[in-house]
Structure 1
Amino acid sequence: MRIVLIDNDATVRENLNILINIYAPDLKIVGEASGVQEGLACIRANKPDLVLLDVEMNDGTGFDLLAMYGTLDFKLIFVTGHNEYAIKAFKYSAIDYLLKPVDPDELSKAIAKAQQAFDAQDQNLRVANLVQNQQSSCANQKIVLKDAETVYLVDVTDIIRCESETNYTKFYLIDGRMIMVSRTLKEFDQLLKGQSFFRAHQSHLINLHQFDRYEKKEGGMIYMKDGSTLPVAVRKKDALMSALADF
């Protein structure tokens, strides 16, 4: 596998060189660059299989580079400093990323994943969503969901509720679809914070925009606009009332 490293910091590139040589010696680093324009030229000249791409650089961002390049024909891993908003954007789009300073184990996992079969259409959809979300308001965010066979691009506002199914999460959408994703509800609870979602129960995460009413009978039940019902955990009742009052 041929790799190009694009990072504003020469020290980061040097460390990546060392780590790749130690933990993935069968990979070949064919080029390096420190900015958007230089990186664009480096990719076009070297035709890599994998690009490790910095987010913030002196002459622009990694997103600028991707927009200039067009349809991607290489695998992509972002390398970024700790930025909660950026990380959430990567997770919304199911894009691989590494935090600086890069952890050897995380690098090994990311490279191992990159060495698997490449679906260019799948990745381009994810990257397009990442770029679009960067340019959109919080109210217009989209999330990439993937089941065993299909990749879906879903408006966050179209999600009615999420339900835990052991290590899977079921997404119920306003058009009647149900999508089951092999990630835990805890992950999506953390990811959708700030988007009017409320964890009403260990097994249920609801979109307050789709909330209809709360009835105290039978220990407390939530009724959603699609007619579905779900319980409220006893310890969550006060928090639900507070969330509704602030909504």
Structure 2
Amino acid sequence: MIRTLLIDDEAHNHRELSRVLAETCPQVHILGQAYSATEAKTLYQTHTPDLLFLDIEMPGGNGFQFLESIQPVRAEVIFVTAYDKYAIQAIKFAALDYLLKPVNPTELKVAVERAQQKIQARWGNQQLQALLDNLRNPQQQPKIALPSIDRVDFVEPDQIIRCQSDNTYTHVFLEDGSKLLISKTLREFTTLLTEYGFLRTHQSHLVNRKYIRSLLKRDGDVLLLTDGTEVPVSLRQKGEVLAGLK
């Protein structure tokens, strides 16, 4: 899925673009719609989208001023405009995509496919950059690539509170309160993270020792984490967990 924001000051343009996207580009997931540059900036900072459909002429700041306000721009941009010949020439010179209103479905599909290729290439470049950073700084904690359905996040082990198995996927819970569904097994995460203080407490749970607050004695032992989560400790893993806590 391509996580997308629609930015246009007219409601009927939002409705029409949403309709055509639903019919021709099912890989596009609309996160939100903004009607001004100010509203667009707030949505952009909240959702960190992959793609922007951006009107040029808007009250309270045009599309170019909006882009200046969110530097560095980490999303692909498809401009959507009704006239502005000078702006179109500038966009062409920069080899960026634009669509004229009313939007042509065929042209829209081509622009989205081109944006998707750029997004996927950017993810690959970020993964290579993470590799080089890890090799360049061997004394520091490495950044781990966490590929989910629509993005790749890069985090240090200390930012991970715990991991929970979901068959061949794993839910990763982060220090900032966010949760990611990652296409790796819990066994893979155990291999990656054990040397960074993570304990396998159960067949479905891997916990960062840094975030353990208490060991609760009940019918079955439970770890209380700093975020209030309770994680079970299986009989099979109890000895290893106790040794790790010591």
TM-score after normalising by structure 2: 0.50
Counting aligned pairs with the same residue, the percent is 34
Q: What SS does the aligned partner of 1:144 have?
A: strand
Q: What SS does the aligned partner of 1:226 have?
A: coil
Residue 181 (1) aligns with residue 182 (2): yes
| Alignment partners' CA distance in 1, 2:136 and 2:227 | 31
Q: Deviations over 1:197-241 (max 9, x none)?
A: 110000000000111111111310011111101110112112111
Is the 1:138–1:195 contact (alpha carbons within 8 Å) kept by the matching residues of 2? no
| Alignment partners' CA distance in 1, 2:235 and 2:218 | 13
Task: Name the aligned partner's letter for residue 141 of structure 2.
Answer: N
Is the 1:139–1:157 contact (alpha carbons within 8 Å) kept by the matching residues of 2? no
Structure 1 residue ranges (4+ consecutive) displaced by more than 4 angstroms after TM superposition:
none
CA separation of 1:232 and 1:139: change in aligned 2, threshold 3 A: farther
Is the 2:213–2:225 contact (alpha carbons within 8 Å) kept by the matching residues of 1? yes
Task: Name the aligned partner's letter for residue 205 of structure 1.
Answer: L
Q: Which residue of 1 aligns with 2:193?
A: 192
Trace 1:71-110 onto structure 2 (pairs within 5 A).
Answer: none
Is the 1:161–1:204 contact (alpha carbons within 8 Å) kept by the matching residues of 2? yes
| Alignment partners' CA distance in 1, 2:245 and 2:217 | 15
| Alignment partners' CA distance in 1, 2:218 and 2:119 | 52
- Structure 1 or 2, whichever has the larger Rg, is 2
Trace 1:124-163 onto structure 2 (pairs within 5 A).
Answer: 124-137=125-138, 139-163=140-164
Task: Name the aligned partner's letter for residue 242 of structure 1.
Answer: A
CA separation of 1:220 and 1:139: change in aligned 2, threshold 3 A: farther
| Alignment partners' CA distance in 2, 1:224 and 1:139 | 25
Q: Which residue of 1 aligns with 2:60?
A: none
- RMSD between aligned residues: 1.8
Structure 1 residue 119: deviation in Å?
2.4
**Structure 1 residues not aligned, in runs of 5+:** 1-115
Q: Deviations over 1:124-182 (max 9, x none)?
A: 10011111111224552211111111111112110000000111100000100000011
CA separation of 1:218 and 1:162: change in aligned 2, threshold 3 A: same
Is the 2:123–2:151 contact (alpha carbons within 8 Å) kept by the matching residues of 1? no
Structure 1 residue 118: deviation in Å?
8.4
Residue 221 (1) aligns with residue 222 (2): yes
Residue 120 (1) aligns with residue 108 (2): no
Count of residue pairs the alignment pairs up? 130
Structure 1 residue 120: deviation in Å?
2.0
Q: What SS does the aligned partner of 1:133 have?
A: helix
| Alignment partners' CA distance in 2, 1:138 and 1:225 | 27
Structure 1 residue 117: deviation in Å?
9.4
Is the 1:168–1:181 contact (alpha carbons within 8 Å) kept by the matching residues of 2? yes
Is the 1:139–1:195 contact (alpha carbons within 8 Å) kept by the matching residues of 2? no
| Alignment partners' CA distance in 1, 2:207 and 2:139 | 17
Q: What SS does the aligned partner of 2:133 have?
A: helix
**Structure 2 residues not aligned, in runs of 5+:** 1-116
Q: Which residue of 2 aligns with 1:107?
A: none
Q: Deviations over 1:12-62 (max 9, x none)?
A: xxxxxxxxxxxxxxxxxxxxxxxxxxxxxxxxxxxxxxxxxxxxxxxxxxx
Task: Name the aligned partner's letter for residue 119 of structure 1.
Answer: Q
Residue 171 (1) aligns with residue 159 (2): no
| Alignment partners' CA distance in 2, 1:145 and 1:215 | 31
TM-score after normalising by structure 1: 0.50
